[in-house]
Structure formats: C-alpha cells, structure tokens
Chain A
Amino acid sequence: MLEIEIDGKVIQVNDGSTVMDAATQAGSYVPHFCYHKKLSIAANCRMCLVQVEKAPKPLPACATPVTNGMKVWTHSEAAVKAQKGVMEFLLINHPLDCPICDQGGECQLQDLAVGYGDSSSRYQEEKRVVLNKNLGSLVATDMTRCINCTRCVRFTQEIAGEMELGQAFRGEHAEIMPFVEKTVDSELSGNIIDLCPVGALTSKPFRFSARTWEMSRRKSVSPHDSLGSNLIVQVKHDTVKRVLPLENEAINECWLSDKDRFAYEALGSDERLTKPMIRQGGEWQEVDWQTALEFVANGLKSTVREQGAQSVGALLSPHATLEELHLAQKLMRGLGSENIDSRLRQADFSGDASRSGAPWLGMPIAEVASLNRLLVVGSFLRKDHPLLAQRVRQAAKRGLRVSYVGPNAEDWLLPVRNRALVAPGKMLAELAGVVKALSLAVSKPVSGAIADYVAAVAISPAAQAIADDLAAGSSAAVWLGNLAAQHPQAASLQQLAQEIARLVDGRVGIIGEAANSVGAHVVGAVPGAGGRNVADMLDKPLAAYLVLGAEAEFDFADAVKTRTAFEQAGLVVSLGAFRSVAALDYADAMLPIAPFTETAGTFVNCEGRVQSFYGVVKPLGETRPGWKVLRVLGNLLGLDGFDFAKADEVCVEALGGSPEFVSERLGGLVDVPLSSQPAAEGKGFERVADIPLYFADPLVRRAPSLQKTKDAAAPLARMNAATAAASGVADGQLVRLRSAAGVVSLTARVDEAVADGCVRVAGAHQSTAGLGPLSGVISVEGL
C-alpha cells in the first residue's frame, strides 16, 4: 500500500495505482478524455494534468504512478491553469457548434468546456476539417469533431479483439479511420459511441431524433442472449428512442452488444401486430380482445373435450418473460396437458429423465476472470454470446487457456490454444478421447457408466493436447454452447463434459441460448411426467398448439416439420409482438403481446440471477402484456389460480418469493448412457447450423440497422476446400443443398473454419428453412 495526499486528503492506495485511481478513490474529480477505466492508458489528451509536489511541471494523472508520500493537487491554481491551457488547445480545432451536434447535451468536451474553457476563442485561424468515414449502418461519424483521444481505437483492439480503427497520419493531420473503406463490423461496435467523449462517433439509427434531456431514462434487461445485459432505455413521447448500457460489473460491465443496443428499432416495425386477429372460415379478421380470447378459449376447450388434454401443447420461446412462461405452463397444466416445452431448437431430450434443476452456466459470470482453463464444446461463442466472449477474451490475456471441441473454427478474436475440429457426428468420440486422456493424465478412473465407451475410443492428438492442457490447470470450466445444446447427442455430450469437469475438479455449464433459458426451466416450461417434448409434439402433431413468441420457420429445430405440424393442427394460437407472414398461413388466432419494453417481466440469466424490469412505454395499439393475456385466458378457461393484479405477483408465485438468485433450482446435470445412435446417417455431408446473431429472435430479425450489417448477410454454404473438392463445387458457385426434408440453393464459400465433411449452413433464415433439421446429413451439388 502507498500513502498519497490528494487535495489535502491522505489515503492509502494499492501498489501500482495511478494518480487518477487515487483521485477517484479520494473522491476528487480529475477532468479527462482519453482515460477510461476499462482501456489501456494512452495519456494523449492531457486534460488530466494535476500539480504534484516537487514536480517541475504538471503531470497527467492517468499516467502517473503513485509514489509513497506523494502530494497532489487536482484543483490548485497551477493544476487548473494547466487544464485550462489544454482545453484551449483542444478547442482550437473542435467546431464550436454544439447546437447542431448530435452529442450536444451529453458531450464530455462540452461539459468540461463549461468549467475549463473561455467564453470566447483566441484562435482566429482556419480550423482543420476531417472527412467522415463510413463505418457501417450503426455508427455515424463526424470526424472533424474528433479530439484524437483514441478510445475508439483502443476499444476495438483491446475489448472487441480486432483493431478495426486506427489513428493514421500524424500531428495536425492525424485522423481516426478504418483501413481503407472498411466498415467496423464488430458485434460490439456500438460501444465506441458511448466511449467517444465528443460527437465524432454517434448512433446512426438514433441520429438527430431526440436530445438527451428530452428523454427519460428507464431501466430494463436485454431480452436476447443468456447474459441478461442491463439496459437504460431512453424514451420520448412514449417511444423508445435508444438503448444504452446500465453499468453492472457482474454482468455486462459497461458494455452492450450491438444486438442489445440496436434491436429496439424493431419495436416500431411495420410488422408489429397491433390488434388481435382470428381466422374464421379461412378469412383473417381483426377483432377485439374479448372476441379473440373467447375464440381461443372455446377452441382450446372444445379440443380438450373432443380429443383430450393430451392433444394440446404449448411451445414457448425462451425469450419470453418468466411471468409469461409461468402462466402459459400453468394454463396448460390446468387444462390437463403436460405437453409444454421451451427448448425449441433442441433435438435431443434423452437427458430429461435424469435431469433435475435448470441447466445453467455452472458458475457466476464474473468468475470467468478467475478461470485458468476453459473447454468450450460446440459453440459459436463470439457471435452467440458477444459479451461473454469478451470476458473470456480479457481472461485469456491474463492467462486463461481456452480449448475447443466442435465442427467450427471461426475466429473468436481470442487465442484458442487447442482445437479439435471435428464433424458433429464425431464430437462424442472426440470428447470421449479427451476424457480418456485426462483420466490418464490426472490418474483418476473414468466413472463406471461411461468407462466402456471411453475405453473403446482412440485418443486423437487434439484430444490429448486438450487433456494435457486441462490437467495442467487449477481452475477449469467446461461450457456447452448452443451448438452442443442443439446437437442430436446433446445429453451424451453433456455427460462427457460433466466427466471432464469431475476429473479436473472444475465446473460444467450450459451457456444457454436465450435471455430466459434458465427461467423457463425454473418455472417448469418443460414437459412434466407423461408430457411430450417439442420434438415429440411436432413429430406426432397435436390438435392444438399455443405458441408464445416463436415463429415456425425460424425458432425451431426443424422449420419444415414445425410448419407441417402447425398447418395440420386444428388450432394454432400464436402470441407474439409481430405479424409473421408464415403465421398468416398456419395460425388461427394471433394475439399481439408486448415486447420487453411494453410489459413488466423477469428474466433469469445464465448464472441464475433473477432480473425484473418494468415496461418503459405503453403497449403499441391493442397490444397487451403477455401475462395479462394469459391471465384472462386462464379465467375464461375457468382455471383456478389466475387472479393476479400485478406482474410481481406472478413472479412471486413462480419463484416462491423474490430471490436474487434461483440457486436452489439450478442444476441440470444429466445421467444418461452414452448415445450409440450415430448423430448423422446417410450419404453426404453433415450440416453444421449456426444461428446468426441477427436472426436469433423475432425482435432482432426486424431491426433494420442490424439487418444491414455484415453479420446479417445471407447465409452461405460454407465448407472446407477438401469438402468442396469432394462435392465438386467451387467458391462462389451456386449450389443445391438437399436434406431429407427439402432442397435449398445457396452460394458456396470455401472456408477452412469448417470441419472436414461438413457444410455450415445457418439456421433461422428464410433461405435455409427448407432444409428442415439443423443437424443431419445434406448433399451438395453444383448448379
């Protein structure tokens, strides 16, 4: 510890602290621009100059290490004189036209100029002008306003993992730019808008649509990935104008992924369903809620009466709120049906019988920092979980060694030390190889139930390397990604992941696909005894489906099968915020329910944290919060226990109180015999399906600016050169892909980041829906 006196206050600070750290600790504000607590120190703006005893000239607080007994004045005459001098320099080239700048009112330069600037400028000469850059559809530029603090540059390099911006040229000509005409394509790019202390980088979708002081700031929680980023939703005239991060060190830190930040644009989409609609005699008509709900209630009642409760099922989106999921499952169970599921993209349910508790990350998010080994199985980590990947990236800089088993090797912008790049059908054997090598390395026997299977596999060099690396660590975790969860042998993969964790005394977890994947399990949005899981409900179609927040062609493991099942069902009730074209064909009632900004609700994130939020704007048109709709439906069906006045009451009932974490209800471990079924059968190549991040849920699919990014490009048929050669196709060629379910045409792309014998074809997209299942065998034929 070091002792330092700041502005007359004596404090103790940790060794290695800077004067800026000490000032923060002492509660003294030092003006600054380039300094940011999450970024490296650049010390290039010089705004943080302070007076230091015995130093002949002012020193930058952000870059001056504390020495024992140091005395610092942050607001002395000398300090303020230096700060004012820097401010005058900064304003020399900066336009003095805040009224026409989008950052006006929330600009650090503007704010500090009030304190340190003069009322008029002594500078009369020409100011420099910097041409704007096209950084893509999310970030707008006004480069003349740039003060060259390089925060944006350091962000892309250090946090996002790829230096997409730089400071080119020098001196007066220095400018921030991407490399020739390139756009900034990071899935975290929006954070540079928050970081930019001036109006050089602003939000393109939000630009000039409101002033910060005209908007109210309301807290919310992101409904997308399983992290549960905390949001500030800014609202004006009852419309959501933009979304900013609410800092929460335990979850999203001070960041947001672009999905969290820009998906709000979909809230105003033309495709919003604003009135209840029912189909009678083949004709769609808009009706009032009473009529719609009676139609639905009657339909459900008569189906149950005529075909039994087992002919009704609920398919619930894991992006739905806890309240909605709770009431939907309660309603189903009230009708006497256990046909309830929320794991819509999953294919293997063999673990259900042995599983108790909700599958979760197996550890708190913040503890990623303390891991030194991480094995990821089946994941598109960077795109599926942008901010979790960011944490792993930071941990990797401090010594976390990451390994991977799966059919994909796209760049995560973090070092993956060992990688077993194997087809989905070989993942089980590969993982068993890791178990075998690991058991030898740590001299612990393999658990009885899987010992035979493991004994029979060969250890590949990659599996050996992964095992050696894991064995050498001291704090390990094994994570199953979305691809592993959607794998046809998911339970067996999990069984082996559990075994690996056991052998290294590590933790095992499932990252989880959606904002409420954990919550859905916790409230029982999964089939109970005698109930049917989603695959079963679609394989042997039911007479009636209640579909909440999901779209047949995008949100299910098999778009074709789902569509067929819905089309032949007597009654499909679709509750959602949007009017989907497909639903017009297959649904019988479409009920407009509120997206997350228009309803109170709760999500349970991947670490089991319960996060409730309120609606921030009024529901659009006739839209109603889902929990209210389900409550009324429960009443109309004459079911007990549907008398709730507030969303909180539903949450309290669902969780048995208002816990901060659902710790006692977490678990999700399986105990299954390892699958002997091949993961893929037939002649051809194995499909590897990613769910592109801007197609993953109904909201993000309709966010126009996100849809213009590179990540939203139309899916390609990606395969390595060997696979392409084997199927006789060339890069860029149009190919026909055929599965048992159907045929689609896509452009081929030679991509060495795909395992041999596999074709990576994204799911959740119109152009690939015709292929049916996300896994399995497809053939490729050049056109």
Chain B
Amino acid sequence: MLSQESLARIDVEVAKYPPEQKQSAVMGALRIAQEEKGWLANETIDFVARYLDMAPIAAFEVASFYNMYDIEPVGKHKITVCTNLPCALSGGVHAAEYIKQKLGIDFNETTADGKFTLKEGECMGACGDAPVLLVNNHRMCSWMTPEKIDQMLADLDK
C-alpha cells in the first residue's frame, strides 16, 4: 500500500511514542501517506489505521478534521483561504470570492485543467495578517489583496 520509504518514515514517527500508544503517531503517518499518494483515499486511511493498531474511523476523524489532509483528490496547487471571524472582518471572505471568480470554481472544487483547488480554511493563527491564505499546505501568504492574489496565481501557473 505504502512504499518502504514511507513506512520507514512512519516508523520514525511511531518510535517517538510508547509502544502501546502507537496511534499517537497518526498525524505524522497520515502526512507521510498523503505526501506519497497525493491525497488520502479511504484505503490509505484504513491502511494507516491498521498499521498503527487503531480503529479506521479514529484515523478518519483526524484526516477529516484538519484541512491540511485531503480526503479527496486535489489539483496541483491547493489554495486554502481562511474565512474565520478575524479574517472575515478584514477581507478574508472577499479574498476568497475574488479567487473563486478568478478561477471559476467554488470551495472544494478544482479547475478543469487540474491546476488549482480552492479550500476554505480555519484560523491559521495569523489573524493580524488577514486576509491570509495557505498554498499547498506549506506556504503562508499574508495581506492578500487582489493584486497580490493575481501575482500569486500567475507565479503558480508558471
């Protein structure tokens, strides 16, 4: 199901916890699985759960809770816009609307060319920088005015 390399990385996570609490490694293990597979299909979650001796639904709870985990396939670039209250008060929703209109997709949708997926995110702990968005789970972008969004999309499209 997962490559030897991924399994070895998961084992490193598992080793951080007492043996009877293997499931503590679930977040790391799901992250590693997602890196290999691109997203977390039910079979992948099931595999990770069994690997960690935990109930599959418990792993699914984690995978469905955090929006850095993708339980559906995503495009090449995943853009997650924070719409929680502080951001919403400072233009977060407008930023999201702008992206939607620009890409012609709604939240949880992917552009026809498979390049962009738009997600609605929860507070990223950077409310002061609102509007805030996250690119591909790793790059945080602050003060996202329409101009900066245009620039960002153009860079990503290259």
Spell out A's residues near B (CB within 8 Å). Answer: 157, 162-171, 177-180, 182
- Assess the B42–A180 pair: CB atoms within 8 A: yes
- Assess the B64–A163 pair: CB atoms within 8 A: no
- Assess the A168–B61 pair: CB atoms within 8 A: yes
- Assess the B65–A163 pair: CB atoms within 8 A: no
Closest beta carbon of chain B to A156's beta carbon, Å:
9
Q: Is B112 an interface residue (CB 8 A)?
A: no
Residue of B nearest to A167 (CB): B61
Give the chain B neighbours of A170 by CB distance below 8 A: 64-65, 122
Contact flag A162-B55 (CB < 8 Å), given A179-B46, A180-B42: yes
Which 5 A-B pairs give the minimum distances between C-beta atoms?
A166-B57, A163-B55, A179-B57, A179-B56, A168-B64
Q: Is B12 an interface residue (CB 8 A)?
A: no
Give the chain B neighbours of A168 by CB distance below 8 A: 57, 60-61, 64-65
- Assess the A164–B64 pair: CB atoms within 8 A: no
- Assess the B58–A166 pair: CB atoms within 8 A: yes
Give the chain A neighbours of B46 by CB distance below 8 A: 179
A157 to B54, CA, bound (A): 11
Closest beta carbon of chain B to A283's beta carbon, Å:
58
Given contacts A157-B55, A179-B55, A179-B57, 15 further A-B contacts (CB under 8 A): A162-B55, A163-B55, A164-B57, A166-B57, A166-B58, A166-B61, A168-B61, A168-B64, A169-B64, A170-B64, A171-B122, A177-B57, A178-B57, A179-B42, A180-B60
A165 to B56, CA, bound (A): 10
Contact flag A165-B57 (CB < 8 Å), given A179-B46, A180-B42: yes
How would residues 40 to 70 of chain B score, 1 for a CB under 8 Å from any chain A CB and 0 otherwise?
Answer: 0010001000000001111011001100000
Residue of A nearest to B46 (CB): A179
Closest beta carbon of chain A to B107's beta carbon, Å:
12
A-B contact pairs, 18 of them (CB 8 A): A163-B55, A163-B57, A165-B57, A166-B57, A166-B60, A166-B61, A168-B60, A168-B61, A169-B64, A169-B65, A170-B65, A171-B122, A177-B57, A179-B55, A179-B56, A180-B42, A180-B60, A182-B57
Contact flag A179-B64 (CB < 8 Å), given A162-B55, A164-B55: no
Residue of B nearest to A177 (CB): B57
Residue of B nearest to A170 (CB): B65
Residue of A nearest to B20 (CB): A415
A180 to B61, CA, bound (A): 12
Give the chain B neighbours of A180 by CB distance below 8 A: 42, 60
Number of interface residues of B (CB under 8 A): 11
Closest beta carbon of chain B to A679's beta carbon, Å:
35
Closest beta carbon of chain A to B22's beta carbon, Å:
15
How would residues 117 to 143 of chain B score, 1 for a CB under 8 Å from any chain A CB and 0 otherwise?
Answer: 000001000000000000000000000
Closest beta carbon of chain A to B30's beta carbon, Å:
14
Give the chain B neighbours of A162 by CB distance below 8 A: 55
Spell out B's residues near A (CB within 8 Å). Answer: 42, 46, 55-58, 60-61, 64-65, 122
Closest beta carbon of chain B to A783's beta carbon, Å:
32
Closest beta carbon of chain B to A253's beta carbon, Å:
23
Give the chain A neighbours of B56 by CB distance below 8 A: 179
Contact flag A163-B58 (CB < 8 Å), given A170-B64, A170-B65: yes
In this complex, the member of B56, B57, B61, B64 whose beta carbon has the largest number of chain A beta carbons within 10 angstroms is: B57
A361 to B64, CA, bound (A): 46
Contact of B55 among A166, A167, A169, A171 (CB under 8 A): A166
Residue of A nearest to B55 (CB): A163
Give the chain A neighbours of B55 by CB distance below 8 A: 157, 162-164, 166, 179
Closest beta carbon of chain A to B114's beta carbon, Å:
25
Give the chain A neighbours of B61 by CB distance below 8 A: 166-168
In this complex, the member of B55, B58, B122 whose beta carbon has the largest number of chain A beta carbons within 10 angstroms is: B55
Closest beta carbon of chain B to A284's beta carbon, Å:
52
Closest beta carbon of chain A to B78's beta carbon, Å:
18
Give the chain A neighbours of B122 by CB distance below 8 A: 170-171
Residue of B nearest to A166 (CB): B57
In this complex, the member of A162, A178, A179 whose beta carbon has the largest number of chain B beta carbons within 10 angstroms is: A179
A164 to B42, CA, bound (A): 15
Give the chain B neighbours of A177 by CB distance below 8 A: 57
A167 to B61, CA, bound (A): 6
Residue of B nearest to A175 (CB): B64
A177 to B60, CA, bound (A): 10
A167 to B65, CA, bound (A): 9
Give the chain B neighbours of A179 by CB distance below 8 A: 42, 46, 55-57, 60
A400 to B93, CA, bound (A): 55
A169 to B108, CA, bound (A): 14
Closest beta carbon of chain A to B43's beta carbon, Å:
9
Residue of B nearest to A178 (CB): B57
A177 to B61, CA, bound (A): 10
Give the chain A neighbours of B58 by CB distance below 8 A: 163, 166
Closest beta carbon of chain B to A135's beta carbon, Å:
12
Give the chain B neighbours of A164 by CB distance below 8 A: 55, 57
A180 to B56, CA, bound (A): 9
Give the chain B neighbours of A182 by CB distance below 8 A: 57
Give the chain B neighbours of A165 by CB distance below 8 A: 57
Closest beta carbon of chain A to B100's beta carbon, Å:
19
A163 to B49, CA, bound (A): 12
A178 to B55, CA, bound (A): 10
A62 to B98, CA, bound (A): 46
Closest beta carbon of chain B to A192's beta carbon, Å:
14
Residue of A nearest to B63 (CB): A168
A182 to B58, CA, bound (A): 14
Closest beta carbon of chain B to A138's beta carbon, Å:
18
A178 to B56, CA, bound (A): 9
In this complex, the member of B42, B46, B61, B122 whose beta carbon has the largest number of chain A beta carbons within 10 angstroms is: B61
Residue of B nearest to A162 (CB): B55
Closest beta carbon of chain B to A400's beta carbon, Å:
17
A447 to B65, CA, bound (A): 61
Closest beta carbon of chain A to B56's beta carbon, Å:
4
A170 to B57, CA, bound (A): 14
A162 to B64, CA, bound (A): 20
Closest beta carbon of chain B to A726's beta carbon, Å:
28
Closest beta carbon of chain B to A401's beta carbon, Å:
15
A162 to B46, CA, bound (A): 15
Closest beta carbon of chain B to A735's beta carbon, Å:
29
Give the chain B neighbours of A171 by CB distance below 8 A: 122
Closest beta carbon of chain A to B116's beta carbon, Å:
22
Residue of B nearest to A157 (CB): B55
Give the chain A neighbours of B57 by CB distance below 8 A: 163-166, 168, 177-179, 182
A179 to B71, CA, bound (A): 13
A177 to B63, CA, bound (A): 14
Residue of A nearest to B67 (CB): A170
Give the chain A neighbours of B65 by CB distance below 8 A: 168-170
Residue of A nearest to B66 (CB): A170
A171 to B57, CA, bound (A): 17
Give the chain B neighbours of A163 by CB distance below 8 A: 55, 57-58
A166 to B56, CA, bound (A): 9
A162 to B56, CA, bound (A): 10
